[in-house]
Amino acid sequence: VILSRAAVSSEFANQVRRFSISSKKNVKVAVCGASGGIGQPLALLLKQSPLVTKLSLYDIVHTPGVAADLSHIDTPAVTKGYNGPESLKDALSGMDVVIIPAGVPRKPGMTRDDLFNTNASIVRDLAEACSKYCPKAMVGIISNPVNSTVPIFSEVAKKAGTLDKKRIFGVTTLDVVRSNAFIAEAKGLDPRKVNIPVIGGHAGITIIPLISQATPSVKFEKNELEALTARIQDAGTEVVKAKAGSGSATLSMAYAGARFAFSLCRAINGESNVVECAYIASDVTEATYFSTPLKLGKDGVAQNLGLGKLSAYEQDLVKAAIPELQKTIKKGEDFANKSS
Ligand code: NAD
Ligand code: LMR
């Protein structure tokens, strides 16, 4: 059962209220890449939530300043900055949730895969650190190319003997957030009440919005449906072009990353019916990693809710995405297995 977003938000508000009165578990959250375009607004959103009791901000630059600044906000999360690899042990030990937006963003004309050479080793090194210092943490990977960085993280954890596939997520929440926004705009709906599951991966044709499963139900002519799907698939590039060389989506990603992190916190606190789409190790299709709606629990993925009923158009999108996913998954796995 997928709750409508209105029900989720109102349940979330109730949960936050209950939590403020009797906090259940202390949820400790780390951000790796905390000084960046995503990292800073993400850290701000996490700091303002009573769901987070400790906020650990790791980067290779500027974290003393970011942490000093945020620590003056009058909310409970105890905020500390950690700078450079020698501080990884202190940054990660005891963390329940680790969100990773470390790495370079795209410039116009680049694909996400063009970031592989730089970001693959950043994610590999952070995976080694997480395996050592917080092997039980739930990990949300934002760094691109997500279709490859999630397999890299898993392979490193596998080698370290700490792999728990239920706890490693590629963050695709921004694709859901964008789909909700664009479809609400097209139909004149309140965007808070729209929910569009997005499956597959997080690059171009692997991003598959399931508009046939929209809540509330919406209908489009074929050409409109194709144009909306293409806009959702290219939305990252739309922002990269608009930013004209200064980076990619940061603010909307921080919003989406915070939503995903809060869902993990709520699941850790035992809340039921926490559902998010994310890119995980999966046997739902022939691609060994695939995003679908997931019910989250205390130990990560509690139930993979699968594809649901797809329209013929969506079935074709899935068919086209699988070979592309398989190629980028293999690229990530080969990198991790060669390089560590
Ligand atoms: P940015 O350059 O503004 O910030 C990246 C931060 O990572 C910097 O502060 C940098 O110092 C830090 N960093 C670099 N190497 C590090 C390391 N080894 N350990 C820790 N931190 C390190 O970039 P950004 O705009 O914040 O984007 C970050 C990543 O997120 C990019 O790869 C981008 O493509 C990706 N992204 C993903 C999504 C998504 O939907 N999953 C959305 C937007 C951006
Ligand atoms: C996005 O979807 O905005 C991110 O993956 C960043 C990018 O490079 O498009």
Identity of the amino acid at 233: Q
Q: How far is the CA of 275 from the centre of ligand 2 (A)?
A: 22
List Cα–Cα distances, 191 to 38, 51, 87, 228, 279, in angstroms: 23, 24, 41, 15, 23
Minimum-distance ligand to the CA of 204?
Answer: 2
ipTM: 0.99
Using the predicted structure, report yes or no on whether residue 10 has a pLDDT greater than 70.
no
Q: What is the mean pLDDT of the chain?
A: 94
Nearest atom, ligand 1, residue 146 CA: 41
Pocket test for ligand 1, best of 38, 139, 168, 178 (most atoms within 8 A of CB): 38
Q: How far apart are CA 314 and CA 194, in angstroms?
A: 19
Question: According to the model, what pLDDT value does residue 22 have?
Answer: 45
Sign, CA dihedral 198-202-206-207, equals positive
Known binding residues: 33-39, 59, 106, 112, 119, 142-144, 178, 253
Residues 6+ positions from 109 with CB-CB distance below 8 Å: none
Q: Which residues pair with 32 in a beta bridge?
A: 58
Q: Give the pLDDT confidence of 243-294 residue by residue, as tens digits.
A: 999 999 999 999 999 999 999 999 999 999 999 999 999 999 999 999 999 9
Question: According to the model, what pLDDT value does residue 23 have?
Answer: 47
Q: How far is the CA of 208 from the centre of ligand 2 (A)?
A: 15
Decide: 149 in ligand 1 pocket, CB within 6 A.
no
Sign, CA dihedral 287-290-295-297, equals positive
Q: Give the pLDDT confidence of 199-223 residue by residue, as tens digits.
A: 999 999 999 999 999 999 999 999 9
Question: According to the model, what pLDDT value does residue 26 have?
Answer: 86
Q: Give the pLDDT confidence of 46-60 residue by residue, as tens digits.
A: 999 999 999 999 999
Please report, rounded to a whole number, the percentage of residues in the chain having pLDDT higher than 70.
93
Using the predicted structure, report yes or no on whether residue 300 has a pLDDT greater than 60.
yes
**3-state secondary structure labels for all residues of the chain:** CCCCHHHHHHHHHHHHHHHHHCCCCCCEEEEECCCCCCHHHHHHHHHCCCCCCEEEEEECCCHHHHHHHHCCCCCCCEEEEEECHHHHHHHHCCCCEEEECCCCCCCCCCCHHHHHHHHHHHHHHHHHHHHHHCCCCEEEECCCCHHHHHHHHHHHHHHHCCCCHHHEEECCHHHHHHHHHHHHHHHCCCHHHCECCEEECCCHHHEEECHHHCECCCCCCHHHHHHHHHHHHCHHHHHHHHHCCCCCCCHHHHHHHHHHHHHHHHHHCCCCCEEEEEEEECCCCCCCEEEEEEEEECCEEEEECCCCCCCHHHHHHHHHHHHHHHHHHHHHHHHHHHHC
Nearest atom, ligand 1, residue 58 CA: 20
Using the predicted structure, report yes or no on whether residue 125 has a pLDDT greater than 50.
yes
Nearest atom, ligand 1, residue 38 CA: 26
The predicted model gives 93-122 an average pLDDT of 98
The tally of CA atoms less than 13 A away on the side-chain side of residue 256 is 26
User: Could you tell me the pLDDT band of residue 310, with boundaries at 50, 70 and 90?
Assistant: very high
The predicted model gives 127-147 an average pLDDT of 98
Q: Which residues pair with 277 in a beta bridge?
A: 293
Residue 123 structure tokens? 């994610």
List residues near ligand 2 (CB under 6 A).
Answer: 105-106, 112, 144, 174, 202, 236, 239-240, 248-249
Question: According to the model, what pLDDT value does residue 1 have?
Answer: 40
Nearest atom, ligand 2, residue 237 CA: 9
Question: According to the model, what pLDDT value does residue 18 have?
Answer: 47
Minimum-distance ligand to the CA of 240?
Answer: 2
Identity of the amino acid at 289: Y
Backbone angles phi, psi at 218, to 5 degrees: -130, 150
Predicted TM-score (pTM) above 0.80: yes
Question: According to the model, what pLDDT value does residue 7 have?
Answer: 56
The larger pLDDT score, comparing residue 275 to residue 26, is at 275
Q: How far apart are CA 136 and CA 97, in angstroms?
A: 9
Q: How far is the CA of 2 from the centre of ligand 2 (A)?
A: 26
Minimum-distance ligand to the CA of 34?
Answer: 1
Q: How far is the CA of 11 from the centre of ligand 1 (A)?
A: 31
Question: According to the model, what pLDDT value does residue 9 have?
Answer: 56
Given the residues 28, 167, 202, 259, select the one marked as catalytic. Answer: 202
Q: Give the pLDDT confidence of 64-74 residue by residue, as tens digits.
A: 999 999 999 99
135 C-beta neighbours (distance < 10 Å), count? 15
315 C-beta neighbours (distance < 10 Å), count? 12
Using the predicted structure, report yes or no on whether residue 5 has a pLDDT greater than 80.
no
Q: Is 62 a catalytic residue?
A: no
Q: How far is the CA of 7 from the centre of ligand 2 (A)?
A: 28
6-15, 139-148, 190-199: the lowest-pLDDT one: 6-15
List Cα–Cα distances, 41 to 23, 55, 58, 136, in angstroms: 25, 13, 14, 26
Using the predicted structure, report yes or no on whether residue 45 has a pLDDT greater than 90.
yes
CB 139 within 8 A of CB 96: no
Decide: 174 in ligand 1 pocket, CB within 6 A.
yes
Using the predicted structure, report yes or no on whether residue 12 has a pLDDT greater than 90.
no
The larger pLDDT score, comparing residue 144 to residue 2, is at 144
Q: In this structure, which residue's CA is closest to atom 29 in ligand 1?
A: 143
Using the predicted structure, report yes or no on whether residue 339 has a pLDDT greater than 80.
yes
| Burial class of residue 216, CB neighbours in 10 A (0-12, 13-18, 19+) | exposed
User: Could you tell me the pLDDT band of residue 303, with boundaries at 50, 70 and 90?
Assistant: very high
Decide: 124 in ligand 1 pocket, CB within 6 A.
no
The predicted model gives 324-334 an average pLDDT of 98
Of 181, 184, 195, the C-alpha closest to 249 is: 181
Using the predicted structure, report yes or no on whether residue 15 has a pLDDT greater than 70.
no
